[in-house]
Structure 1
Amino acid sequence: MYISELGRRANASPKAIRLYESLGLLGEVGRKGTYRIYSEQNVQQVQLIRQVQALGFKLADMGPLLVAAQGAPDWAELRAFIERRRVLVRAEVARLEQLERKLGQVSAEIGACLAAPQPSTMADCIDETLDSAP
């Protein structure tokens, strides 16, 4: 199949497919004259590349894992890489949840300060909330 058919089936632009090929992610691509001829395996490779990109991975990081010596992904290494990324994501989620809780506390303190019957100065509200900020 030609690049337009591959692009249609794998939901990728011809420019992206040429980039994947130039990075060596598609292995050896056959030619018929000046035209590239792609296989069913190339459709699957491009779909995998697109999926990896949609998960936020960079091709520079993932490239070596997507094409092993035989032209197939190194599934064990790919899975290990993904699991390492999941650990980082969980740590970031925990950090963001803690930040969200702290922002809620600071917002509530400002709200309480503003709703006080004896109006405090804004400096009092800010000082109190900043003292409790992370």
Structure 2
Amino acid sequence: MTATAALAGVACLWLGMVLAISFLEAPLKFRAPDVTVRIGLGIGRLVFRALNAVEAALAVVVVVTLIAGHVPGPVLGTAVAAVGVLALQLVAIRPVLNRRSDRVLAGEDPPRSRAHLGYVGTEVVKVALLLAAGVLALSGL
């Protein structure tokens, strides 16, 4: 298997996970009967902690693949950018969201946070980058 083919598989797997969790599970859980904001946040923290751990592992696989094999420039650029977006989310945005959700889970009612919009925005960018990396890798560019 070539590095480009491996990268295509990892990018598609990662893309599917982000789409399923961030854009399907996360908003739907709050529509379930009797799910309060506190319960939804508690579930969301567990789910996103797990998702982010798997994403970090996939990002390591991407980086190792990029180092170990020859990958065309466009694929390299989009893959590196996707890893960079994940790093931004984990280092800069998730800690802010975690502090706010800690307060909500402790019974406080803190004001809305713009960090959530930042996370959603970076998820959209990451989805576009992963899609591009997968398509470019599959097309051989």
Larger RCO, structure (CA 8 Å, separation 6 or more): 2
Q: TM range, normalised to the smaller chain?
A: 0.3 to 0.5
From the two aligned structures, give the one with the greater strand fraction: 1
From the two aligned structures, give the one with the greater helix fraction: 2
Which structure has the greater CA radius of gyration?
Answer: 1
